[in-house]
Amino acid sequence: MVKYGELDKALTTYVSVDTQDTIPVEYYRRVIKAAIKVNNDGKQWDMQQAAAVLLYFAFNDGLLSPSQLTAEGLKALDYAEMFLEVSQTALDLVEEMNRHSA
């Protein structure tokens, strides 16, 4: 199960700023809910995958700039993009999350 504190800790390897001040709690909640849904559907997201997806959402919504990412964060963005393209369930979740953030 993905937990907020563990997700935040995993995310810190990808960013060079304090995520508590940058990424709203709602983003964490959405990714945790998405991870639970995906895990219930028989696919497993580990903490690094969930953190990469969270980073992807925050970056694409303009909450983070490239200069705030570490080298690992840039790799995680690429990974998350490919991971989300491969997983139809995840793509459905992205669309749902985009509707909620619009």
pLDDT digits (tens, 9 = 90+) for 22-36: 899 999 998 998 888
pLDDT in tens, 36-63: 888 887 777 889 999 999 999 999 999 9
Domain ranges of the chain: 4-101
State pTM to two decimals. Answer: 0.82
Give the tens place of pLDDT for each residue, 57-94.
999 999 999 999 999 999 999 999 888 777 665 656 66
H or E element that contains 18: none
Locate 40 and state its tokens.
């219930």
Q: What 8-state DSSP symbol labels residue 49?
A: H
Identify the three-state secondary structure at position 60: helix
To the nearest 10 degrees (0 to 180), the angle between helices 25-40 and 88-101 is 150
